[in-house]
């Protein structure tokens, strides 16, 4: 059983929270399936709209899925969230990714 299968099993058992969904999203990203990552990351942000790392991962997943305008929106919102929480490093990383997207 893969890590993804194990986390999916937790979902089927009724466990659902921001960390579980974020983990599933990042695992799908690592496996090269950004289109499968997006829905999990969106749910993670429904659970916790102030989850800076989830905004960053969502922006990446959307960009890798060819959804540049949605990725720009995700990074923009993520930067606002990160800055309001004092997550300076995450905000800086998203600013770099946002600039790259806006240039292309």
From 3, 58, 8, select the one nearest 34 (Cα to Cα).
Answer: 58
What's 33's DSSP letter?
-
Q: CATH: 1.10.3210.10, 2.60.40.290, 1.25.40.10, 3.30.300.30. Which one for 3-103?
A: 1.25.40.10
pLDDT of residue 74: 98
Whether the pLDDT of residue 102 is over 90: the answer is yes
Q: Following CA atoms 72, 73, 79, 82 in sequence, which dihedral angle do they give, to the nearest 10 degrees?
A: -130
pLDDT of residue 1: 62
Place of tokens 């499968």: 36
- Percent with pLDDT over 90 in the chain: 97
Q: How many CB atoms lie within 10 A of CB 11?
A: 15
Tens digit of pLDDT for each residue in 45-91?
A: 999 999 999 999 999 999 999 999 999 999 999 999 999 999 999 99
């Amino acid at each position: 059983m893969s890590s993804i299968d194990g986390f999916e099993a937790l979902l089927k058992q009724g466990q659902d929270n921001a960390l579980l969904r974020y983990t599933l999203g990042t695992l799908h990203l690592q496996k090269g399936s950004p289109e499968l990552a997006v829905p999990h990351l969106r749910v993670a942000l429904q659970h916790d709209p102030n989850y800076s790392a989830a905004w960053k991962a969502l922006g990446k997943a959307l960009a890798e899925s060819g959804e540049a305008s949605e990725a720009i929106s995700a990074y923009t919102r993520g930067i606002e969230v990160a800055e309001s929480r004092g997550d300076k490093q995450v905000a800086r990383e998203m600013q770099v990714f946002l600039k790259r997207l806006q240039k292309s």
